[in-house]
């Protein structure tokens, strides 16, 4: 059966060149990067080189990047860390209703511990309004955390404006850039951002590796304490293979950046337009312009997402409904609720995300397979029946 992977925002395969660069670190070059002998020093050297390779592409200093076990850890560390470090200055945090759960759940926990959190509304395209950010600031505000690109509907947030506001009010600004890495050029020498979260497995690197950027001069307490790794900021024997793979993946992403974006955007537009044309009552979510190059997010009225996914899976198409992280629960996604969709529409959501291995043929195949699936499910649905009756 033909296999069409359309869930690059959930995770990506490790690119062959990335894997090749990782391999020696499992077996020959396996030394502990904290050790003094040659294999250890070699590991440390290559790990620090990896840090520099990534820093160069993001235009920051290598010492501002700390490796973590992924995006979730980095989000937890950043937010809990700033909350703890600046507790004496205030107890108010500003975020949005459409953040990843790694941000939202941390904020909810902080609320239980006495912090006040403002969860900003977004408009129908998922955009946070910088004016609303500024209006929410109080003299207690210590942190603003707004994501760079939403993982579900692909909307790119106005983080430059938000960051400028944070700067003006001397408030720390964190952004979850997990979906932005490799899909937007990120220039940390220009961006008004204090902390930024990254994850390797969204850019053709390995799972279980990420990084937190912490601008020089900002101190946060450790989330994982113990050994002196990562300049004493993040304990645990370093995953050198993963870190080197991460660096290679970032390099490839930015070396081939223009071509990557152009290809993805063209496939994305073809798919969105094709779906609108072929399937009635299709609603495109998110902003059509300020959008992740590979994100296609649509809602099909009257039917439920999981049954779409299962049907797609049976013809070899892998998609998601809401964030991959939450698809275990299949509750209507908080993001779709926040952009004002009714439950009936939100439940019928489908996210297809395009990546570097997606072809024109894949898009054609989806446009051929999906319409009859939607039709079949709708004909089984009591809601469709009612809607038709009403017309």
Ligand X SMILES: Cc1ncc(COP(=O)(O)O)c(C=O)c1O
Q: Which of 65, 22, 292 is nearest to 198 (CA)?
A: 65
By beta-carbon proximity to its own copies, the closer residue of 32 and 290 is 32
- Which residues does 100 contact at the CB level (< 8 Å), separation at least 6? 71, 75, 147, 151, 176, 178, 323, 325
Q: Which of 61, 80, 71 is nearest to 221 (CA)?
A: 80
Enumerate residues 31-60 that contact its own copies by CB under 8 A: 31-32, 34-40
Number of residues that bind its own copies (CB under 8 A): 80
Q: Which stretch binds other proteins (CB under 8 A): 9-17, 18-26, 179-187, 306-314?
A: 306-314
How far, in Å, CA of 75 to CA of 78, rounded? 5
Residue 299 annotated as catalytic: no
Chain residues in the site for ligand X (CB under 6 A):
70-72, 75, 100, 102, 147, 151, 176, 178-179, 199, 201, 210, 236-237, 325
- Four-residue CA torsion sign, 105, 110, 114, 119: negative
By beta-carbon proximity to its own copies, the closer residue of 178 and 374 is 178
By beta-carbon proximity to ligand X, the closer residue of 71 and 348 is 71
For its own copies, the binding residue among 17, 19, 62, 116 (CB under 8 A) is 19
How far, in Å, CA of 66 to CA of 232, rounded? 10
90 contacts its own copies (rule: CB under 8 A)? no
How far, in Å, CA of 110 to CA of 91, rounded? 9
- Which backbone phi and psi does 173 adopt, to 5 degrees? -120, 120
Q: Which stretch binds its own copies (CB under 8 A): 23-31, 154-162, 264-272, 333-341?
A: 23-31
62 contacts other proteins (rule: CB under 8 A)? yes
CA angle 45, 51, 54 (to 5 degrees): 140
For other proteins, the binding residue among 19, 30, 48, 281 (CB under 8 A) is 48
Query: Pairing mode, if any, of strands 349-353 and 92-96?
Result: unpaired
How far, in Å, CA of 245 to CA of 266, rounded? 28
By beta-carbon proximity to its own copies, the closer residue of 290 and 307 is 307
CB neighbours of residue 33 within 10 Å: 21
Structure tokens at 299: 């809602």
Q: Which of 121, 134, 179 is nearest to 161 (CA)?
A: 134
319 contacts its own copies (rule: CB under 8 A)? yes
Q: Which stretch binds its own copies (CB under 8 A): 136-144, 155-163, 284-292, 326-334?
A: 326-334
How far, in Å, CA of 105 to CA of 80, rounded? 11
Q: What is the DSSP letter of 128?
A: P
For its own copies, the binding residue among 242, 286, 348, 355 (CB under 8 A) is 242
By beta-carbon proximity to other proteins, the closer residue of 50 and 186 is 50
**Catalytic residue among 60, 107, 299, 325, which?**
325
Instruction: Work out how close the CB of 199 gets to its own copies at its nearest, in angstroms, rounded to a whole number.
Output: 7
Q: Which does 179 bind (CB under 5 to 8 A by kind): ligand X, other proteins, its own copies, none?
A: ligand X
Contact positions vs other proteins (CB under 8 A): 36, 41, 44, 48, 51, 62-63, 228, 230-232, 302-307, 310, 314, 328-332, 342-344, 347, 379-385
Active site residues: 325
């Amino acid at each position: 059966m033909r296999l069409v992977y359309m869930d690059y925002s959930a995770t990506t395969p490790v690119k062959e060149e990335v894997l090749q660069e990782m391999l020696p670190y499992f077996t020959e070059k396996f030394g502990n990067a904290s050790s003094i002998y040659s294999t250890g020093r070699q590991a440390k050297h290559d790990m620090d080189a990896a840090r520099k390779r990534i820093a160069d592409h993001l235009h920051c200093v290598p010492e501002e990047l700390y490796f973590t076990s992924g995006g979730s850890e980095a989000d937890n560390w950043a937010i809990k860390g700033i909350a703890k470090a600046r507790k004496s200055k205030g107890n108010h945090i500003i975020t949005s209703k459409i953040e990843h759960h790694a941000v939202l759940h941390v904020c909810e926990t902080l609320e239980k511990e006495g912090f006040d959190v403002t969860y900003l509304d977004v408009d129908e395209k998922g955009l946070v309004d910088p004016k609303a950010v500024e209006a929410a600031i109080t003299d207690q505000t210590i942190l603003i955390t707004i994501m760079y690109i939403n993982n579900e509907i692909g909307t790119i947030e106005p983080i430059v404006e938000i960051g400028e506001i944070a700067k003006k009010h001397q408030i720390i600004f964190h952004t979850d850039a997990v979906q932005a890495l490799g899909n937007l050029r990120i220039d940390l020498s220009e961006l008004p951002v204090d902390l930024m979260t990254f994850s390797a497995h969204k850019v053709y690197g390995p799972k279980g590796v990420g990084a937190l950027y912490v601008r020089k001069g900002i101190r946060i307490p450790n989330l994982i304490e113990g050994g002196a790794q990562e300049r004493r900021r993040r304990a645990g024997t370093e995953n050198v293979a993963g870190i080197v793979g991460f660096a290679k993946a970032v390099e490839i992403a930015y070396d081939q950046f223009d071509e990557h974006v152009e290809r993805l955007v063209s496939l994305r537009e073809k798919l969105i337009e094709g779906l609108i044309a072929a399937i009635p009552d299709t609603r495109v979510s998110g902003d059509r312009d300020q959008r992740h190059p590979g994100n296609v997010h649509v809602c099909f009225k009257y039917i439920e997402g999981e049954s779409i996914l299962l049907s797609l899976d049976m013809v070899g198409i892998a998609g998601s409904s809401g964030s991959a992280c939450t698809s275990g629960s299949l509750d209507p996604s908080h993001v779709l609720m926040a952009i004002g969709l009714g439950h009936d529409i939100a439940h019928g959501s489908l996210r297809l995300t395009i990546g570097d291995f997606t072809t024109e043929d894949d898009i054609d195949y989806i446009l051929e397979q999906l319409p009859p699936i939607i039709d079949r499910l709708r004909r089984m649905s009591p809601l469709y029946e009612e809607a038709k009756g009403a017309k």
